[in-house]
Structure 1
Amino acid sequence: MANFVLVPGAWLGAWAWDEVAAVLRAEGHDVYPVTLSGLAERQGADAGQQQHVDDIVAVVESQDLRDVVLVGHSYSGIPVGQAAGLIGERLRRVVYVDSNIPTDGRSFVDGWSEEGQAWVRDQLEKSGGFWPPLTADDYAGQDLSEEAVAVILQRGTPHPGRAITEPARLTRAIGELPTTYVKCLMDGPTPSSDVAEQLESPQWQLVELPTGHWPMFSQPTALAKILATA
């Protein structure tokens, strides 16, 4: 049995993993969903990306976890990829769920177009340094029920701006680590170019899931099965 450390993407807290965690626990695994600093019940703190890395490492070390499967969704793939290199032999596998992956010296938004980066800067300036949550329209076409969208909108919180603008700091190349990348096909049929490059490593494998970008809500059982297999 493995110890799953589940890290949600932008605007979400540990609560986002409730259904996935229930399936994994029913199969005998231990599960540790994480709420990153500045979000959900920890909202308000102006947390940077390195604080999010520390949050993840702290869960592993404080619980003295071994055979750790680190799971990062969306934004959180960036701090998860960094944390994976810091926990050493405790790591069993990294799983990126339709997520960004870290590149040393680059931030979450560095790969965006100039127009996109200008839009984010404007959003952060208008909201006092936080990235506002998405609207209902942004979740359309992602295999989500009306109930799921309502919960996300109700419970989502602004994301700390420094977390998406601070550069990643890798202590170990992510291509060296045993990794599964889960591509959610309704959010695009192929992985991004940086992920495709890493998938050339014999340590990486690709798994496709026919759902949208938030599979913990749209296909929690299928996602849990993929995680358990990984």
Structure 2
Amino acid sequence: MATFVLIPGGWRGGWWYAPLAERLRQAGHAAYAVTLSGLDDTPAPAAPINLETHIADVLELLSVEDLSEVILCAHSYGGMVASGVADRAPERLAALIYLDAFAPEHGQAWWDLAGDDYRRLAIAQAGHDGLTVMPRDGVDPRCRPHPLGTFVQRLRLTRPAAALPRVFLYATGWSATPFTAQYERLRTDSAWTVHTIACGHDLVHHAPDETFQVLIETARKVASA
């Protein structure tokens, strides 16, 4: 049995992973889908929430549940959080999976990596209070305003990268993807296993079978290592 901790992307809570989490549990694995601070149904004030807050959210889950040998799986913005968690608690992790997610280096923020279109979106959608970025029209009504501080705070890495298996699943089916340069960088890096899938960014729902298989195959490799 593997233990998965699932970190959602921007504007989303743990509900985004519900179908995948249930499928993992039915296959005999443990699955924890995280809702990060400020993204609850009734969120606390967003002013003090930044990237470090979200990293701390996941670290607290690992500690409170006393989880070890965790396969940490992140989507989109959640890769920023996963990278921070891997830096702070590598001893609790067995592998990292980035589902069309940012894999930042020290000193980088979501703002640096997201590209011009998403930076313009963040500016436009934060104008209502200057603290949170409203979700775009037409998205799932469960989406919540995303704390702006998490998008602009730079990731602080405190040690060399741990020797963990790292997987990047690159979704090729959406023209606005900001992940092409990252794909080109990681696909020739021996520390990474890179997959491509012809679907949109919402790959947990657009390509559920392929996404599930990547997680299960990673678990198999971890178990046999």
Tell me, yes or no, whether TM beats 0.5: yes
Cα offset, 1:116, TM superposition: 5.8
Tell me the SS of whatever aligns to 1:213. Answer: coil
- Give the alignment's TM-score, normalised by structure 1: 0.84
Q: Which residue of 2 aligns with 1:142?
A: none
Q: Which residue of 2 aligns with 1:35?
A: 35
| Larger relative contact order, structure 1 or 2 (CA cutoff 8 Å, min sep 6) | 1
Q: Which residue of 2 aligns with 1:194?
A: 182
Distance 2:151 2:178 in 1: 23
AA in 1 matched with 2:145:
P
| 1:49-88 map, 5 Å | 49-88=51-90
Higher share of residues assigned helix: 1
Distance 1:7 1:190, change over 3 A: closer
Q: Residue 79 of structure 1 contacts residue 102 of structure 1 at CA under 8 Å; is this kept in 2? A: no
Q: Residue 21 of structure 1 contacts residue 224 of structure 1 at CA under 8 Å; is this kept in 2? A: no
Q: Residue 113 of structure 2 contacts residue 178 of structure 2 at CA under 8 Å; is this kept in 1? A: no
Distance 2:36 2:122 in 1: 20
Of 41-50 and 119-128, more deviation after overlay is shown by 119-128
Distance 2:188 2:164 in 1: 13
Q: Residue 11 of structure 2 contacts residue 146 of structure 2 at CA under 8 Å; is this kept in 1? A: yes
Cα offset, 1:197, TM superposition: 2.3
Gaps of 5+ in 1: 137-151
1:165 aligns with 2:129: no
Distance 1:114 1:4 in 2: 33
Distance 1:118 1:21, change over 3 A: closer
Distance 2:33 2:124 in 1: 31
Cα offset, 1:198, TM superposition: 3.5
AA in 2 matched with 1:33:
A
Gaps of 5+ in 2: 219-225
- Give the alignment's TM-score, normalised by structure 2: 0.86
Of 179-188 and 65-74, more deviation after overlay is shown by 179-188
Deviations 1:165-206 (A, max 9, x none): 111111244584320001112125994323432443322110
Distance 2:112 2:119 in 1: 8
Percent of pairs identical after alignment?
27
RMSD: 2.3
Tell me the SS of whatever aligns to 2:81. Answer: helix
Aligned residue pairs, count: 215
Cα offset, 1:122, TM superposition: 4.3
Distance 1:45 1:225 in 2: 38
